[in-house]
Structure 1
Amino acid sequence: MTGQEQAILGILLMTDGYISYETLAEKLNMSTRTVMRLIRSMETFLKDFSIMVEVKRRSGIRLDGAKKDLEALRQTLELEKTVNYTANDRILLILLELYQSEEFVKSYYLAYLLNVSAGTIQRDLEEARLAVEKNGVMLVSQRGEGIRLRGGLHKGRQALAKLFRRYLDLRNWSAERQDMVFLERLSGNVRKELLEFLDMQGLYRTYKLITDFDYTLTDSFLQEDFQNLVLYTHILLHFPKLKQIFTEDGKNLRLDTEAMYPRICEFARKVKKEEHIQLNKEQICDLLAVYLSMRSNESLYTVYKYDEDVHHMTLELLEDMEGELGKSLTGDRELVERLGAHLNLMFDRMHLGTMADCSDLGQLKQEYPQIYKIIEKNIDAFSKRHSLFISEGERGYIIIHILASLVEQEEENQRIRAALLCMSGIGTSRMLAQRVKKRFPRIEIVKICSAADFQEEMMLADDIDLILSTVKTEPLSIPALFISPMPDEEEFASIGNACEKIAEQKLRLSFTGNMEMERKEVQYQPDTAMRKLAWMEDILEGFSCKTLWAKNLDELYEKTAEELFRSTEKRRKFVTLMRKRGEQGCVVFREGMLLLHGRMDEELGFRVYRVQGGVDCISAGKSVKVEYVVVMVAPAQASSELLDLFSCISAELVQDEGLAEAIEAMREEEIFRRAGLLMSRDIFH
């Protein structure tokens, strides 16, 4: 049963009495004719429940059946509706729905269909838009109407064929084992939907039609290109509805002068004879365009030799793994370069008929079983997608490169760069350094200085994460702990707590959007103070405290965006950015206080919001209820001087109770005063 049919039955079950076809069509954004056709198609399904569709002139329709039968139908629909789809499943189902609809589809209908919130659907639609745009198809939205696909008919077929190819593998396919064509990507329910949409019997007939016409195709061309030809031909023959969704542009008509044109015409005659489908000249030329784009098997190990191709393949392989591993791989430039170089050499070895041998493969499986399994699965899907045979040895080296990056990221997140500040910087400081190193191996003492020589700007330039001081200091923007030259257990515990907080911040806090914190080199010039004062005035001028009502984190992002920006585009961009940050883990400074920060065009903002009732989020792997939100927005091209002003406020939230207490009490004037003092101290330090 399709999602549209489920939606119609859901409305009929909730309606007391009759409802007109027109009302149903308006609710579901369909034509009256479509509603009538769908209801007729459901009659056989409803008979299994002993239910009929009763039609009454001038009143409409209703479901006629015993109470227990109607309840059984309701439970069946609920069972189908409560399936938990992954993000990958949802995006595929959304695209299948759009490829079947000649009209606009409303987002709330998709939310009903997939049993998710409107916010989740908007995020999925953004991912779906990016997926189809890569293939020359647009996903357009129209206010009050909904969303739909648009573009040229040839591009639309190509995009759909590529979508299918992502999930199917037609090698060694037979009529008896059609279930074997699926790659291990989709849940059972989504496979069922895709099977219904694809018409597997029709696809197999197309497969046989092509191989019977020219049995050499499977051996003469790359497997991914041959599969693309089969899928495109199947779509051209058996998906006539696409003509109502996309527009014919005739761009390939000029191909009728190609030498292979008569051969494709011969295939068209075979189609007419066996499938009773007449192909016109434009369809023949479109099919020829696909055929001419196919790469011969001779190019199997040279087609990926270009650096740009290998680079894109490297990013593709890493992107597939990022979601499951929960780590940034494509952002690790060294990994991309190392893995790209390995793939280049791997193609050379394939061309020469040699294979790499990885003796550490067994040890890797034992030491990193879960990570190994995830990487292995993605390499397998990658190799099938590109028709490559990647040996065990080559896989082992790919896994080693990725594991090295994961270990480096973990070590970097754990390493704390510390400075020791003592009265003279000579005597007790050395002993203290040894005690700290012995107790906390993750702490790297990179600087020891005396109180007389101490300059915070030098600490910032050296990328210091923590200052351990045996002398009292002014409040600093860098986390600092006052300890004795011979720390006791309580002081060691406070150092350990500080390290944990810093490790979390290093992983998540970044105005640049990267997973690692990037500190910019501070340049002090004569007019630095004046520029910072101007920034401070702009920040404080727009400051405000308000109360927001939100049911969940997505709605909180949306409400915050509405408060910050007038432009719909900026709101959408801000919500998308915050969701991506949230997927990596929300930044909660202290219990119940969430930080939202980022760079947005020319925008500048500092706001504090109380969240009525609170919302749940994930921080450091734990569920946390957020009751307060601190928002900091800087321009996209913001200087390090402006970012320093925001940083001193966020640092105060970690180190000092005063500002946090003022926020919890929503004392707007005190928050304003404290923020001003903090920024002034940063300017005139």
Structure 2
Amino acid sequence: MMKIPEIVLEDEKVIFSEESKVAWKAEKKKLRKKDLILQDERVYMIILYTFIKTDIISNNHYQEFLQLSKNSVLLDLRKVKEICERYKIDLIYSRNSGYELKGEEYDIRSLVSYSIGKILSLTIGEWLINYIFESWEYTSNKEIINKVIIKLSKEYNVTFTYDRIKEVIYFFDFLQKRKNSFKLNFDDKDIKYLEQHPLYKMSHFIVKDIFYKNCEKEKIYITIRLLSALQGNEKVYEEEFFKEVTKNIIARVQAITGIVFENPKELFDNLFEHLVPAYFRIKFDIVSKNPYTAQIMEEYNELYYLVEKGLEPLAELTGKAIPEDEVAYFTVHFGGFLSLNREEKRTYKGLSICPNGISSSLIMRTQLKELFPSIVFSSVHSLEEAKALRIEDYDMVFSTTYFQTEKQLFLTKPILNKVEQEILKTEVSQNFDIEVGIQNLDIQKLIKAIEQHATIENRKELYESISNILYETDRNYEGGKNLTELLQEDLIKFTNKKMEWQEAISIAADPLLKEGYINGNYINAMISMVKKMGAYIVLAPKVAVPHARPEEGVAKLGVSLLHLDQPVDFNMDSEYDEDKEVKLIFILAAVDSTGHLKALKQLSKILEDEENITELIDATNARELFNKINEILER
């Protein structure tokens, strides 16, 4: 057991005495590396260790490096080979060269970059990287590289996302130490484009100042890496196709989710900032590890699914499928713009600091606004931005990392689960006169009552279970009711009349109008939205889903459906497309940004298969069509 002097907490700061620091250094030397390094990270350490090798590597070298037995190393090497296969790389052994990574240079670098990201996601990540360097008697040059990039970024007036440029800096550190680099291959079209980019000039100085060489292919590669970490800026990315794809994605996500986002200019600017570097990451196979992907897919299940469908314009532009981690970032981004539809008097000013990137910052601010509707929140994406603010600009700070401030600091995460939300609400209410609801008080009372009559074995799990029950009717992103709960049989109509699209929308919405779901203003708003946004409401061949904002005339959540014997032309002013000859019009009346997402996810799944669409079109009456929808959903 470690014997170190007492650690003191003063003014919410942890104080280590000089005696404590000396004692820790002594104890640290006694720690065995194999006790700190787990199998999951060992495989990535082997990859990085091999990448910068200065001598022949045998099994004995790996044993010494990892402090493991021969058999344990052999098991790890099998896992390394499995990971290498995903990147079309071989880990091979020969007597003359020992263990080596063999494959295309670009693929090897992609594997190394991914491995660095995995290591840096760990609490001891930086320590592990330094350990790898020390094993080859290297010293990290990340501070020097960081200074070069900061200097050049100021000269070229560009901003990088903190977490991504950190990974790039470490990658450059590894690349700098590699003894043998092989030929990089790029498409001529990509070379021509990248050589014209403003950051190509910046890459020239990085190659010269960091890698001490003058290789054109290396400049191209460094340009790609910088672009993948850059915070998008219209001054840097002047190409119209980036702006066009941003507009197309917003329009498509609005159509698929049935949400008309507020603040369209802010949404465009923020999406543009995220989308452009994402384009370069996806196009050039640079993996961006999102530590919150699993949580986002669980917490925002329906929204994640629908946003993934909305990203088709980006998939078409890159020619590649969008990775899960990237979809999760976009989901967080759009989730940050969901309207809360809740007006309350604002009494305090809060500062939200999240250096993890603009998407994480958006979702953090949105979640904080939900938890504390009486606080006016402003957000920044770096500690430097926060330091530049006046102290009177905020009353409290919510941050994902420590920030020196005279005001009350609440350390949090970009995405909180329900228990973490309750804990944060309690902490804030104890320091400020803010009404945060009664859930936290009720839970404590319930636990005390239970404790009087039973033994509580796991207080945290009990707290979470009760919290989940209390939040069951609270606003969430899981989307509420099923499609067949919203689309009743009496809301389905058939017509054999030939008509224009404006009339078709009116007739399709008529059942909702008669039953009091909407008023006439909503129909006019839907028609105006189609005129403004174009035919993005045609979500699948022969199927349209018009909608408008809830405040434009929606009284309650509902869906109606019009079946047309004679197709309605939604081609508008665009090039003719047979798929836009619509025969099914689903009218969505949403009361908020989330209550309908589950139903739209189900509808989207139906529309994925053209055979399903054909079955719906072939129905001859409302009962048959309603039953067919149920049947497809149950398959």
Structures share fold, TM-score greater than 0.5: no
Larger Rg computed on CA atoms:
1
What TM-score does the superposition give when structure 1 sets the normalisation length?
0.31
